[in-house]
């Protein structure tokens, strides 16, 4: 399922010290098994992918060396953990994941859309972030 296109508006402080707009950005979605991902903003410390899980799809199992803060924008998706637990999240719900191995499933009839803010974490005394497998 394709992620709808939209523009990304970014502000900054210009040479005169005033707030100004940078040129609008457009990012093409990446199609993965079970998901469509479009990174809306990506810095070494905080990548921000927008994810869409189509009805009936399941993402690959993956983990990140980060604290992931997420917000469900639309639909309903299931967060599955490798320990066997799962929770259903709906529009308006938020999640915080701490380097856990997980997968997403959409058991509903509508697309599930969410944003995730990946914040670098300390693992083994080293500050780092790695992106999820297949993302």
H helix or E strand, kind and range, residue 11 = strand 11-13
Is 122's pLDDT higher than 70? no
Residue 54, pLDDT score:
92
Structural domains in the chain, sorted by start: 29-128 (2.60.120.10)
What digits encode the pLDDT tens for the residues 11-59? 667 898 776 667 876 666 667 676 666 665 555 555 566 788 999 999 8
36, 41, 47, 50 alpha-carbon torsion, rounded to 10°: -30
The sign one gets for the Cα dihedral 80, 81, 83, 86 is negative
Q: Got the DSSP string for 27-60?
A: ---EEETTEEEEEEE--SS--EEEEEE-TT-BPP
């Amino acid at each position: 399922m394709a992620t709808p296109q939209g523009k990304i508006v970014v502000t900054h402080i210009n040479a005169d010290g005033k707030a100004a707009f940078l040129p609008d950005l457009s990012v093409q979605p990446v199609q993965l098994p079970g998901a469509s991902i479009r990174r809306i903003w990506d810095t070494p410390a905080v990548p921000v992918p927008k994810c869409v899980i189509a009805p009936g799809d399941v993402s690959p199992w993956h983990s990140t060396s980060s604290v992931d803060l997420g917000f469900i924008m639309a639909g309903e998706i299931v967060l599955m953990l490798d320990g066997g637990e799962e929770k259903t999240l709906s529009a308006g719900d938020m999640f915080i994941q701490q380097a856990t191995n997980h997968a997403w499933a959409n058991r509903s009839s509508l697309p599930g859309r969410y944003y995730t803010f990946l914040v670098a974490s300390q693992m083994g005394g080293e500050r780092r972030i790695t992106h999820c497998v297949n993302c």
